[in-house]
A and B are shown apart, each in its own frame.
Chain A
Amino acid sequence: EAGVAQSPRYKIIEKRQSVAFWCNPISGHATLYWYQQILGQGPKLLIQFQNNGVVDDSQLPKDRFSAERLKGVDSTLKIQPAKLEDSAVYLCASSLWAGETQYFGPGTRLLVL
């Protein structure tokens, strides 16, 4: 069974630029999550989708972050404009349904200069 796919794996941008990350979940998984993991910390949930609807985006900085999952399968997370403090690993995870075990992708490492 293929795991969660993410791209790109690494990204370096300057502050105030925009960036987008892509995630393809495990086939058949209805729930998709985006997490932010700052060095030395555990992952923090940014947004949760159930199929193509948003379930929880309470910790998403909506003035600069946006995410979509238009067809209920793959998803994109965008940052515009980026700040220095956005430097982190952005992890995508999926689960069969909300509350089930979450499986993570390899992450995208973002460095904002």
Chain B
Amino acid sequence: EDQVTQSPEALRLQEGESSSLNCSYTVSGLRGLFWYRQDPGKGPEFLFTLYSAGEEKEKERLKATLTKKESFLHITAPKPEDSATYLCAVQGSSGNTPLVFGKGTRLSVIA
């Protein structure tokens, strides 16, 4: 069974204090690993898709990396507007497997 574990559950940072969020996964053949951002009262907003170990993608202050067992979302010099819940999801490669989401990491960036 595909599984995703995200840590920490919650993270509080000062503005400008860089950090990383972790997503550990087990999947029978990885088709893709997805990162989403979810603001309170809204649906998840797509950030990145990673397909193979060693791949990296960047968007503004965010950088996602992937290994064979985990993914990291690095946040460089965060701002208060980066406060949100960050969700990680995996999709296996066997057949038409669904996305399996982790519980998310709630990030708070304090000015």
Residues of A at the B interface (CB closer than 8 Å) are: 4, 33, 40-45, 48, 55-56, 91, 93, 98-99, 101-107, 109
Contacts and interface: CB of A to CB of B under 8 A. Distances in A.
Interface string B72-107: 000000000000000101010000101101111000
Interface of B: 4, 31-32, 34, 36, 41-46, 49, 87, 89, 91, 96, 98-99, 101-104
Contacts, number: 50
A107 B43 contact: yes
10 contacts: A41-B103, A42-B102, A42-B103, A43-B44, A99-B32, A102-B99, A104-B36, A104-B43, A106-B42, A109-B41
Given A41-B103, A101-B34, A107-B42, 7 more contacts: A42-B4, A42-B104, A43-B44, A56-B96, A93-B43, A104-B46, A107-B43
Among B42, B43, B101, B103, the one with the most A-chain Cβ atoms within 10 Å of its Cβ is B43
Contact of B96 (A55, A103, A109): A55
Contact of A99 (B91, B102, B104): B91
Contacts of B101: 42-44
A105 B102 CA distance: 19
Contacts of A106: 41-43
Nearest to B49: A101
A71 to B, nearest CB: 22
A102 B96 CA distance: 14
